[in-house]
Amino acid sequence: MSRPIVEMTSIAPTVSALLGLPAPSSCRGAPIAEIVAGGPAERVAIVAPDALGEYAWGLWQSAMPFMQSLHARHSLTVRSVMPSITPVNFAAMVTGTDRAGHGIGTWRDAFACETLFDVVRRAGGRSAGVGMRGYTGGELLAPRGDIPGRVEEHADDAVADRVLAIARTEQPRFIIAQLGCVDDTFHALGPSSPDVVPMLRGTDARYRRLADGLLAAGYVMIVVSDHGQHDIPNPPPGGKRGTHGTDSDQDCLVPCTWTRA
């Protein structure tokens, strides 16, 4: 089944529209009509499974029944901005513009434009970026939020725990989180390897837990990846089996779904 394709630059204005706030000032995308049609929201959380692209989703979605149940109701395809790497696309999610506009090539760079964190703060609200130390979530996003979101433990469950704790106790208007171990597993094993399935089953259970907690705390939860991955043909022994960064559909097309109470 082919689904509508929207641009990664549409995520930020969608969050703004849901929250009833202006889009970040350098935003180039338009709000995603299918998501905004659900009406305004007091709180929005983006939880991104890093590198879970359409390619791997197409192969392994039967191992992710909860995610399938979300896509059965709401499903889009999003196209990453170039290059199809993590900091560039998380920066696009929070600014609505591409690398030339937001200035982020690595997580050490400074934003060259306004972000959703700024927009929410200017409106008197608070936000949080959540992710592991040494990853875009912990290094690029967490310092921009108002609530500490950098996770020291190297585990996606620790990221999910932090998201749920922040949602329950602080209730900021905007949360964005990165589940970075998904990308690590695809790099190590290759996105088409059946060996990735146990990780995806765990990820699916994590999303069920995230949805339960986030919806109870009044959030719209958006699930969208930053980029996909493709298999490395004939990898050297012990070498990486998956990668990304090109403009291919395998690297750039990612599934998006959302849910709300």
What residues line the site for Zn ion (CB under 5 A)?
A: 183
Rounded CA-CA distance 181/185 in Å is: 6
Rounded CA-CA distance 184/190 in Å is: 10
Least distance to Zn ion, CB of residue 254, Å: 13
Rounded CA-CA distance 86/67 in Å is: 22
Least distance to Zn ion, CB of residue 137, Å: 13
78 in helix, strand or coil? strand
Report CA torsion sign: 104, 108, 112, 113: positive
Least distance to Zn ion, CB of residue 238, Å: 18
Closest CB to Zn ion among residues 183, 231: 183
Closest CB to Zn ion among residues 35, 177: 177
- Cβ atoms 227, 252 nearer than 8 A: yes
- Which residue has the CB atom at the shortest distance from Zn ion? 183
Phi, then psi, of 44 in degrees rounded to 5: -130, 135
Closest CB to Zn ion among residues 204, 226: 226
Least distance to Zn ion, CB of residue 243, Å: 7
Closest CB to Zn ion among residues 156, 183: 183
